[in-house]
Amino acid sequence: MSTKKWYRLPAILLIAATLLYGCSPAATTEAPVVPTQPPVATEPPAAAPTEAPTAAMEEPTEAATEPPAAGGASEVEIFSWWVGPGEADGLAAMVEIFNQQYPDIEFVNAAVAGGAGTNARAVLATRLSAGDAPDSWQAHAGQEIIGTYVAANQVAPLDDFFTEQGLNDVLPETLLPLISQDDHPYSVPVNIHRSNVMWYNPAVLEEAGVTAVPTTYEEFFAACDQIQTAGKICLALGPQWTAMHLFENVMLGTLGADGWAGLWTGDTDWASAEVTEGINNFATALSYTNSDHASLSDWQPAAKLMTDGDAAFNIMGDWAYGYFANPDPNGLALEPHTAFDWAPPPGTDGVFLFLADSFVMPTDTPNPDATNAWLTVAASKEGQEAFNPLKGSICARTDCDASLFSEYSQAAAEDWSGDRVEGSLTHGVVANDAWKAKIDTALGLFVADPTGVDAFQQALAEACQSDGACQ
Ligand code: GAL
């Protein structure tokens, strides 16, 4: 699929059901968030999709509309949102390993397009409530799994699988609690991604006379003024989920790691002056973005504004690395440090805002052998070494061969073990679906009218009261 063709995907509005969960996650200072009392899910997750559930990596997503074959292991239907440029390459590499190891099981790609799973998760929720679960699906470590799928009894524990595969010995201690409930693991993590990356175009900075990459919001906004004066967009932004991604980075950079972590445990007051400052910084950051952000189809067109030299910065997770560096047709085949470069977003140096993709075993699956086969590849060193170098992520496993990875990913791996690790909101770690949906609704209103600081802050505080950790 060519990049150009992908950009022309039609936008279809999906209507997602509303969530009615409770939530009371807790956190330690070591691991980002360890859920202690998951909520009970009664409805499918809410989402505000703006993009069509279409354009799978290899074959059309016919499997997404047809139930998987019952019984036997002749095929395995795997649901993800790894479709677009940069995203599909990693999945394709892992599927290649799967095809070599399980030639008798047909891999059925049920991927649904749309970054961060905004569309895919709405489609998945509908399928799950109709009793039409795929054989396995992509799920984020943290509250997305524990506070959503485990709480709704939609996924099965994987204790035996973890023992057979020796996973307790090769997965990081930071990660295990985030995929476990009562010490039972519920998903197989394939990677670690970093949310807090500020990608930039060195030539645009140079032309605008910005001589140092900004490390505080004061410096960032001063640089933005220079960049705008030079006739360029300062900060490239895409559709709403990318605004939430920006929001989490601005809040982390303003509040610091303790302040950010406290938002999800009740230790940071959502009504505090620090949160107001974070929201003000977010509003100012929004004022420097491209005016058409809401109509961009996904994160890639926003990222490409930066690499094309129309914009200076783009704050996006490190899946962007795969898009920038992977070869044509899915990647832009760009040279790091010249065509694009990276730094932590202001105020986040020394913090690794993480998320992890993983795959689950559905409860009462008719096809456990096929799911096991997929999970075996996803868990394996070989599978993760094929997938992650193209995905821009690092292995979830601790024993991958570092020489297979880019300079960027090697540095990310060092940061993952040396930095303070905190969890992403946008990508499922710190809040369950119900809480996140309330934040998303309030954020959508604010992005449309960034003068409503008080109303936004109040809505955030209320969301924490009603669905989150605040009592
Ligand atoms: C995240 C996911 C990543 C990447 C990104 C953009 O939620 O964990 O693997 O796909 O969305 O779509």
pLDDT digit string (tens) for 65-82? Answer: 333 333 457 999 999 999
Residue 21: predicted pLDDT: 30
pLDDT above 90 for 364: no
Q: Are strands 394-395 and 191-194 parallel, antiparallel or unpaired?
A: antiparallel
Q: Which residues contact 40 (CB under 8 A, 6 or more apart)?
A: 21, 22, 151, 152
217-233 residue pLDDT tens: 999 999 999 999 999 99
| Distance from C-alpha of 6 to C-alpha of 10, rounded to nearest angstrom | 9
Q: Are strands 136-140 and 357-359 parallel, antiparallel or unpaired?
A: antiparallel
> pTM of the prediction?
0.87
Residue 72: predicted pLDDT: 57
- Read off the pLDDT of each residue in 148-176 and give the average, rounded to a whole number: 97
323-340 residue pLDDT tens: 999 999 899 999 999 999
Ligand 1, residues at Cβ distance < 6 Å: 81-82, 87, 115-117, 140, 193, 317, 319, 355, 357, 427
How far does residue 356's CA lie from ligand 1's centre (Å)? 9
Phi–psi pair at 152, nearest 5 degrees: -90, 5
Nearest-CA residue for atom 8 of ligand 1: 357
Of 244, 258, 254, give the one whose Cα is nearest residue 274: 254
Residue whose pair of structure tokens reads 């730094």 in the numeric block: 343
Nearest-CA residue for atom 9 of ligand 1: 357
Task: Quickly state the pLDDT bin for 18 (edges 50, 70, 90).
Answer: very low
Of 26, 28, 24, give the one whose Cα is nearest residue 39: 24
How far does residue 360's CA lie from ligand 1's centre (Å)? 16
pLDDT above 80 for 344: yes
Write b or e for each residue in 356-392: b if 16 or more Cβ atoms lie within 10 A of its Cβ, otherwise e. Answer: bbbbbbbeebebeebbbbbbbbbbbeebbbbbbbbbb
- Residue to mutate (ligand 1; options 82, 89, 193; most atoms within 8 A of CB): 193
- Ligand 1 atom nearest to 393, measured from its CA: 9
- Ligand 1 atom nearest to 427, measured from its CA: 7
* CB neighbours of residue 15 within 10 Å: 9
pLDDT above 50 for 466: yes
Of the listed ranges 56-60, 143-147, 191-195, 443-447, the least confidently predicted one is 56-60
- Sign of the dihedral defined by the CA atoms of residues 9, 12, 248, 151, in that order: negative
pLDDT above 70 for 50: no
- Ligand 1 atom nearest to 391, measured from its CA: 9
- Ligand 1 atom nearest to 138, measured from its CA: 8
pLDDT above 90 for 9: no
